[in-house]
Amino acid sequence: PLVLGIETSCDETGVGIVRGRTLLADAVASSVDAHARFGGVVPEVASRAHLEAMVPTLDRACETAGVALDDVDAIAVTSGPGLAGALLVGVAAAKSLAFALGKPLYGVNHLAAHVAVDQLEHGPLPDPCLALLVSGGHSSLLRVADVTGDVVPLGATIDDAAGEAFDKVARLLGLPFPGGPHIDRMAREGDQVAIDFPRGLTSRRDLERHRFDFSFSGLKTAVARWVEARERSGEPVPVADVAASFQEAVCDVLVRKALDAAAAEGIDDLLIGGGVAANSRLRALAGERAAAVGVRVRVPRPGLCTDNGAMVAALGSSMVAAGRPPSSLDLPADSSLPVTEVLAG
């Protein structure tokens, strides 16, 4: 099926078009520059930017794919989770298209879409697979038996998301927002064992209750304390070493827990998705350690890890292929849609 997917859950307006598992177009307009001076995404600014970017991004996707809207078999849209006002713009656009074209509408889960997108690059998802979902708002371990309907959370962050930690640490190092890519780049010049930052929820006691959960807020505080102490003593802050050591602490815990979960579940395929999956150290470390224990790793290319419309089209296409009933045209935007709800009413 030819499926058009719309993503507006945060600051990227994305329109993707797929035929089956073949990606035909992935148009993304980001309002990230408008948020940079605030050091974080401003919801009202994001909503307005989505309104302005929606039609041009739709046009661009259709042009790239060489298809007319009439050719599309189904419309998919992120119905949650995300920023309420931002989601509404995409959901309203998708409903209008579905209604005007007389095509089925699929309201899909943004987090499941971060997993589903990998099919566009690496083919059908292994059943089951273990997904490590790491992004600006989420950090979870999921058991995915069927991305169109069977996603079971095994653990999640109990405080900050991994991407949020990257962004906050970048900020205190004076790097621009969003900080993930800047830390990634700075870390290449630094020494990852220079500073021994804490690995959250890895003590024996914590593992009893939080074996597959994450915590990054203590790490962020530890980095802040370390940097403050340096500044007080008048010594220069070795930004590259701090970035590399911080990044190592995050990636070490993510990979360790993901592989532990894979072993516990008897799963040999690890899929990493979400914006932080673009991180070069996470990709390398996961590859190395997984190979050592016989686990295969799949990570989409960086451009498909951060928010985009192709991921929504990919999940929509899987819904059509699986024969799932479409959503109603009353489909609401649900800012806190749980990950278990892969397809929204």
Tell me if 308 is assigned to a ligand binding site. Answer: no
Indicate whether 252 belongs to the interface with Mg ion (CB under 5 A).
no
CA 133 to each of CA 23, 115, 143, 261, 311: distance values in angstroms, whole numbers, following the listed order:
22, 8, 11, 13, 13
Interface with Mg ion by CB under 5 A: which range of 4-12, 113-121, 202-210, 295-303?
A: 4-12
Site string for Mg ion, 167-206 (x = CB under 5 A): ----------------------------------------
Q: DSSP for 247-262?
A: HHHHHHHHHHHHHHHH
Tell me if 309 is assigned to a ligand binding site. Answer: no
Helix residue ranges per DSSP H, 188-331: 204-210, 217-232, 239-265, 280-292, 302-305, 310-321
Indicate whether 11 belongs to the interface with Mg ion (CB under 5 A).
yes
Least separation in angstroms between CB 193 and Fe ion: 31
Interface with Mg ion by CB under 5 A: which range of 6-14, 80-88, 105-113, 115-123?
A: 6-14
Q: DSSP for 292-306?
A: HTT-EEE---HHHHS
Interface with Mg ion by CB under 5 A: which range of 3-11, 185-193, 208-216, 281-289?
A: 3-11
Interface with Fe ion by CB under 5 A: which range of 129-137, 190-198, 222-230, 282-290?
A: 129-137
Range 295-314, binding Fe ion (CB under 5 A): 307
Tell me if 136 is assigned to a ligand binding site. Answer: yes
Least separation in angstroms between CB 30 and Mg ion: 7
Least separation in angstroms between CB 268 and ligand ATP: 26
Looking only at the bridges linking them, the beta strands covering 74-80 and 2-7 are parallel
Task: Report the first-to-last Cα separation within the chain, whole angstroms.
Answer: 21
CA 275 to each of CA 209, 241, 246, 258, 259: distance values in angstroms, whole numbers, following the listed order:
27, 23, 17, 17, 20
Indicate whether 118 belongs to the interface with Fe ion (CB under 5 A).
no
Please give the residue ranges that form the binding site for ligand ATP (CB under 6 A). 9-10, 82, 110, 135-138, 163, 166-167, 178-181, 184, 274-276, 278-279, 306-307
Tell me if 135 is assigned to a ligand binding site. Answer: yes
167-177 burial string, b = 16+ CB within 10 Å, else e? Answer: bbbbbebebeb
Total residues contacting Mg ion (rule CB under 5 A)? 2
Q: What distance separates the 2 farthest-apart alpha carbons in the chain? A: 67
The Cα 12–Cα 136 span in angstroms is 12
The Cα 31–Cα 45 span in angstroms is 8
Q: Counting beta carbons within 10 angstroms of the beta carbon of residue 23, is it exposed (0 to 12), middle (13 to 18) or buried (19 or more)?
A: buried
Q: Which of residues 5 and 275 has its CB atom nearest to ligand ATP in the complex?
A: 275
The Cα 291–Cα 179 span in angstroms is 29
How big is the chain, counted in residues?
Answer: 345
Least separation in angstroms between CB 39 and ligand ATP: 12
The closest of 47, 61, 59, 53 to 16, measured between CA atoms, is: 61
> Of these partners, Fe ion, Mg ion, ligand ATP, none, which one is at the site of residue 179 (CB under 5 to 8 Å by kind)?
ligand ATP
Q: Which of residues 12 and 103 has its CB atom nearest to ligand ATP in the complex?
A: 12
Indicate whether 135 belongs to the interface with Fe ion (CB under 5 A).
yes
> Of these partners, ligand ATP, Fe ion, Mg ion, none, which one is at the site of residue 180 (CB under 5 to 8 Å by kind)?
ligand ATP
Binding site for substrate, by residue number, is 133-137, 167, 180, 184, 279
Binding site for Fe cation, by residue number, is 110, 114, 307
